[in-house]
């Protein structure tokens, strides 16, 4: 009887819908899970004027997903990764350089203040010793901040070394999932779980490096860097590595035997964040510190060489400069004592302070720093800290924007794809009612059949 067949198809369709609903509810707290649903289609009658039809069938399972929203989610994660990764370095450097006690400004000011104090009595041993002490303290301020920049460079290198294997593993996983999805799809198996796993891997990859994702007709997804180089195509994946063969580490992508050189300041994500900070903020700042120490030491030493010590002998260097940074970029000359300071402008005149006044005037002289150009020695650190503050503030603002956009993207994705427990509860009741109604129809059909048999 068609009434039984119709009701049976209805109960089976209700069971399929209940199974899908239960799967959604079971994954209510599963990160990245995309809710599913069933599409029910009426089965038309084969022929006949009075045939209503042959029930219902589940034509397919669907995933509630929106490709545009997924793309926005991944792009937002790349921007968030880039800004998040560099902000701690900005914060540390700002705190160190802005500290009133250990800043370069304080060290330079104390040094020239000691020189000014010595002008009261140029032959006073205590006042001269204060100059030596202040010179050493200033040198240590340079070394302390230089060491912070050096440690940041080491930390960035270590972070990069840790990120690249993660990135390569994620790329390989996406390629592997592409293959599994293709194979499962060819067998008619539901691939929603595999697609969710792949989307999670893509999202994690996007946090490390900015990517573009393209859906292919066979269900696979191709992934490329934002600059266009291929990272994943079908079941093939590329690898990123640092090549130091030229002496300067260069980021390279190897894909299908082709090698692409990359600018690590422009790859986006966490990898691009630390690359951009290192090359455009940290390295120029460090070089400015080195240049400032070099030029300040040279000016002071040159001026001292033009003067005379209390015993009438020619002046000697107060500072030693080391561009490599080994043992510090700036130190006072080993063994120097207060009586070695050549404050006199004339031999045999210990009380003469002509050369001392010239030394004091150095603070108002100009030096050239790569990151800010020509600047007075007394203003150099203030301008370096000011520029750092501006750069840090811009990054912090972009970080806040990226955080907001990522949250909005997550909310947009969730509105379409995540499980809504209230909606699923309604579905559960509706499909349960559908199942019970169809079972009631089957019971009625059985009663009719039994009544018909009883007539004979």
The answer to whether the CB of 212 falls within 8 A of the CB of 224 is yes
Residue 59 to residue 80: CA distance in whole angstroms: 41
What's the confidence (pLDDT) of residue 348?
A: 85
Cα 236–Cα 242–Cα 247 angle in degrees, nearest 5:
145
Question: How crowded is the C-beta side of 130, counted as CA atoms within 13 Å?
Answer: 17
Stretches where the chain sits below pLDDT 50 are none
What's the confidence (pLDDT) of residue 47?
A: 65
Residue 121 to residue 133: CA distance in whole angstroms: 17
Cα end-to-end distance, the chain, whole Å: 18
DSSP-derived secondary structure for 280-317: IIIHHHHHHHHHHHHHHHHHHHHHHHTSB-TTSPBP--
The string of pLDDT tens digits covering residues 196-251 is 999 999 999 999 999 999 999 999 999 999 999 999 999 999 999 999 888 888 99
What's the confidence (pLDDT) of residue 250?
A: 93
Q: Which tokens sit at 135?
A: 């010179």
Tell the residue number behind the tokens 């400015």, with chain if given.
288
pTM for the complete prediction? 0.89
Write the CA distances from 138 to 114, 125, 376, integer angstroms: 11, 20, 17
Write the CA distances from 180 to 121, 168, 201, 285, integer angstroms: 86, 19, 14, 49
What's the confidence (pLDDT) of residue 44?
A: 82
Residue 414 to residue 408: CA distance in whole angstroms: 10
Q: Which tokens sit at 451?
A: 């009544």
What's the confidence (pLDDT) of residue 100?
A: 83
The string of pLDDT tens digits covering residues 155-208 is 999 999 999 999 999 999 999 999 999 999 989 899 999 999 999 999 999 999
Domain boundary assignment for the chain: 2-64+419-454
């Amino acid at each position: 009887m068609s009434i039984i067949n119709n009701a049976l198809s209805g109960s089976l369709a209700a069971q399929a819908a209940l199974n899908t609903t239960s799967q959604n509810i079971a994954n209510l707290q599963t990160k990245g899970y995309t809710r599913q649903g069933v599409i029910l289609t009426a089965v038309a009658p084969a022929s006949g004027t009075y045939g209503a039809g042959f029930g219902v069938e589940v034509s397919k399972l669907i995933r509630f997903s929106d490709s545009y929203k997924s793309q926005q989610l991944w792009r937002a994660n790349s921007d968030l990764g880039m800004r998040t990764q560099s902000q701690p370095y900005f914060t540390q450097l700002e705190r160190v350089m802005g500290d009133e006690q250990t800043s370069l400004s304080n060290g330079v000011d104390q040094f020239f203040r000691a020189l000014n104090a010595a002008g009261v009595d140029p032959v006073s041993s205590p006042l001269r010793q204060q100059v030596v002490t202040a010179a050493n303290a200033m040198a240590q301020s340079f070394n302390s901040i230089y060491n912070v920049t050096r440690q940041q460079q080491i930390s960035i290198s270590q972070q990069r070394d840790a990120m690249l294997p993660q990135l390569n593993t994620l790329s390989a996983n996406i390629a592997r999932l592409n293959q599994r999805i293709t194979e499962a799809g060819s067998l008619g198996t539901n691939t929603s779980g595999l697609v969710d796993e792949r989307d999670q891997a893509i999202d994690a990859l996007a946090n490390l490096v900015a990517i573009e994702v393209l859906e292919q007709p066979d269900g696979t997804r191709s992934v490329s860097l934002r600059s266009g180089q291929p990272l994943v195509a079908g079941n093939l994946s590329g690898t990123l590595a640092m090549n130091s063969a030229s002496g300067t580490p260069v980021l390279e992508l190897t894909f299908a035997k082709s090698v692409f050189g990359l600018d690590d300041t422009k790859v986006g994500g966490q990898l691009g964040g630390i690359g951009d900070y290192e090359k455009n903020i940290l390295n120029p700042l460090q070089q400015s510190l080195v240049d400032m120490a070099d030029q300040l030491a040279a000016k002071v030493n040159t001026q001292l060489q033009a003067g005379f010590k209390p015993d009438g002998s020619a002046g000697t260097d107060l500072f030693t400069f080391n561009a490599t940074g080994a043992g510090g970029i700036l130190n006072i000359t080993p063994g120097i004592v207060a009586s070695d300071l050549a404050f006199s402008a004339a031999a045999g005149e210990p009380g003469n302070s002509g050369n001392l006044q010239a030394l004091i005037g150095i603070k108002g002289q100009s030096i050239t720093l790569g990151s800010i150009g020509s600047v007075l020695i007394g203003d150099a650190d203030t301008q370096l800290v000011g520029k750092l503050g501006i750069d840090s503030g811009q990054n912090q603002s972009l970080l806040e924007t990226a955080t907001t956009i990522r949250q909005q993207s997550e909310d947009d994705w969730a509105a379409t794809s995540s499980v809504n427990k209230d909606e699923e509860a309604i579905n559960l009741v509706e499909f349960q009612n559908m199942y019970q109604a169809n079972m009631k129809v089957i019971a009625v059909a059985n009663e009719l059949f039994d009544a018909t048999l009883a007539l004979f």
